[in-house]
């Protein structure tokens, strides 16, 4: 039965069986010292020339080779202990050694932080890059954070629901990633920009408290804190006020930091609440950095920004669009009030919209939602959608709104961005196992890639080479 490296302290004088990677090899005189590494830690193995067959095999060992061995756990000689590792008082005298997998030398150093290495090379060999202790820690911490969130919300009677990845293309602000349908040629699914409409439908279904660790997809330009696919904590509640949503997120973040990031200090509790207008006037930003010392990476300055404008002018399209999304509830008395104020000056209409910011980054946002069918249709029309287009794109939601809709609202927290801040990383790629490059490419899998002509034919698709050449020229 396998023993982990951190467990050998429990087996003094007994035989253990270990599996792992050769971390380092040191030759001292005629002795060969191997540091064996598994996910739990390190064990020191000593090969002596007195065991000829084992010694001959051990001479072949190099860093990153995968091995299997058995041996007796002994105390290290006095003065030879290593207090830096959990098994530092013990070593293994091997009786059996098997080489499971030899390894080439990696293309870059894996023992340091790695941030100085060309990022494209790191992404190409991400399975090696992930052996780095820093990235191992990041992924382990990410798992603890998502577990904490699940436990926190489940205790408050939230229900975790998985919503579809294959959905419908609807205008929600960014470009959709489209997936062609083989069974219905000429028709497409879309990958969700967020679970927005599904979670509102769950409120119609009467769940009242929903959450999800959700994958979202947006075809937009990448940068350090943005990826084509990303993960967010998504939640929605019925019969809820804006203040209740903000208080819930504040409680979640405060408890998360206290539990898992003990060196971090939240600068102000409760979190400051600033209107969009005041934030822009005072800080010239809707995601202000409120830290007293902006060079202190352990200071967390959370804040809520509220009362965003409902509409913004799209010059290229010559129309008014929703600042957040069209499902956001405007701060109005009724539909007539909306129409009168929109006719006079759409920019003065505020929304029940709020963002969560931290250290100069937006880490989340949400709103109270429109739950009256007639008002939602009016908003769509004010944004320039025709009645036909509204029915085609949003008919499913409007139909659901005929069956009794509770007032509801929600929020989404970008887990990648939050983790990058909490782990002092320069961008979100450092907290994602297999991220895309800054320009949206998967350098490990070499995606996006060309597909077989037979696949295109099966999907009733045709590629226009001239279009590809024009794109490549740019």
Torsion of CA 249, 203, 172, 349, to 10 degrees: -70
CATH 3.40.1390.20, domain 131-431, yes or no? no
Residue 59 is classified by DSSP as: T
- State how far the Cα of 242 lies from the Cα of 346, in Å rounded to an integer: 23
Torsional class of 404: left (φ above 0), alpha (ψ -120 to 50), beta (otherwise): left
Q: What pTM was computed for the model?
A: 0.93
Contact 266, 244 (CB under 8 A): no
Provide the greatest CA pair distance for the chain: 94
Predicted pLDDT at 222? 64
State the DSSP string of 276-341. HHHHHHHHSSSS----SSTT-TTEE-EEEEE--BSEEEETTTTEEEESS-TTBPBS-SSHHHHHHH
Predicted pLDDT at 473? 54
What does the domain layout of the chain look like in residue ranges? Answer: 5-101, 131-431
239-294 pLDDT, tens digit each? 999 999 999 999 999 999 999 999 999 999 999 999 999 999 999 999 999 999 99
Please count the other Cβ atoms lying within 10 Å of the Cβ belonging to residue 424. Answer: 11
405-424 pLDDT, tens digit each? 999 999 999 999 999 999 99
**Three-class secondary structure of residue 43 per DSSP:** strand
pLDDT band at 302, cuts 50/70/90? very high
349-404 pLDDT, tens digit each? 999 999 999 999 999 999 999 999 999 999 999 998 899 999 998 999 999 999 99
pLDDT band at 466, cuts 50/70/90? low
Six-digit token string for 127:
């399975």
Predicted pLDDT at 174? 79
Residue 403 is classified by DSSP as: S
Query: What backbone torsions phi and psi does residue 45 show, to the nearest 5 degrees?
Result: -115, 135
Contact 290, 301 (CB under 8 A): yes
**What pairing do the DSSP bridges indicate for beta strands 319-322 and 311-314?**
antiparallel
Six-digit token string for 3:
């023993």
CA distances from 190 to 168, 219, 271, 328, 397 (A): 5, 11, 37, 22, 17
CATH number for the domain formed by residue range(s) 5-101? 2.40.50.140
**Three-class secondary structure of residue 60 per DSSP:** coil
């Amino acid at each position: 039965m396998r023993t982990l490296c951190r467990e050998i302290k429990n087996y003094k004088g007994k035989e253990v069986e270990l599996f792992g990677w050769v971390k380092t090899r040191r030759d001292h005189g005629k002795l060969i010292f191997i540091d064996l590494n598994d996910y739990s830690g390190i064990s020191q193995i000593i090969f002596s020339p007195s065991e000829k067959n084992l010694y001959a095999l051990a001479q072949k060992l190099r860093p990153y080779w995968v091995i299997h061995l058995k041996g007796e756990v002994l105390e290290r000689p006095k003065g030879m202990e290593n207090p830096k590792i959990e098994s530092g008082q013990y070593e293994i005298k091997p009786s059996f050694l098997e080489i499971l997998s030899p390894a080439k030398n990696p293309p870059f150093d894996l023992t340091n932080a790695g941030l100085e290495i060309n990022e494209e090379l790191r992404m190409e060999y991400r399975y090696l890059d992930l052996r780095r202790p820093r990235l191992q820690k990041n992924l382990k911490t990410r798992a603890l954070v998502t577990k904490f969130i699940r436990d926190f919300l489940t205790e408050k009677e939230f229900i975790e629901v998985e919503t579809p990845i294959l959905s419908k293309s609807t205008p929600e602000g960014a470009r959709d990633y489209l997936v062609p349908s083989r069974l219905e040629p000429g028709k497409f699914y879309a990958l969700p920009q967020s679970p927005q409409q599904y979670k509102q439908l769950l409120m119609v279904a009467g769940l009242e408290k929903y959450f999800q660790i959700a994958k979202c997809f947006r075809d937009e330009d990448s940068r350090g804190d943005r990826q084509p696919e990303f993960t967010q904590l998504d939640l929605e509640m019925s019969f809820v006020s804006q203040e209740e949503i903000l208080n819930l997120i504040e409680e979640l973040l405060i408890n998360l930091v206290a539990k898992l990031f003990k060196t971090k200090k939240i600068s102000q509790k409760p979190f400051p609440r600033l209107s969009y207008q005041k934030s822009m006037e005072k800080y010239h930003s809707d995601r202000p950095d409120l830290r007293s010392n902006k060079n202190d990476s352990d200071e967390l300055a959370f804040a809520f920004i509220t009362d965003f404008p409902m509409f913004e002018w799209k010059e290229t399209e010559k129309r008014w669009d929703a600042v957040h999304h069209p499902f956001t509830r405007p701060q109005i008395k009724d539909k007539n009030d909306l129409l009168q104020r929109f006719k006079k000056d759409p920019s003065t209409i505020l929304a029940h919209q709020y963002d969560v910011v931290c250290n100069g980054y937006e880490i989340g946002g949400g709103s109270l939602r429109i739950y009256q069918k007639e008002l939602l249709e009016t908003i769509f029309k004010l944004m320039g959608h025709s009645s036909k287009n509204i029915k085609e794109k949003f008919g499913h939601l409007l139909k659901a709104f005929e069956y009794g809709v509770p007032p509801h609202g929600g929020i989404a927290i970008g887990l990648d961005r939050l983790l990058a801040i909490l782990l002092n990383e320069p961008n979100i790629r450092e907290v994602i196992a297999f991220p895309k490059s800054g320009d949206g490419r998967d350098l490990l899998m070499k995606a996006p890639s060309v597909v077989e002509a037979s696949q295109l034919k099966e999907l009733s698709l045709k590629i226009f080479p001239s279009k590809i050449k024009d794109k490549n020229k740019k």
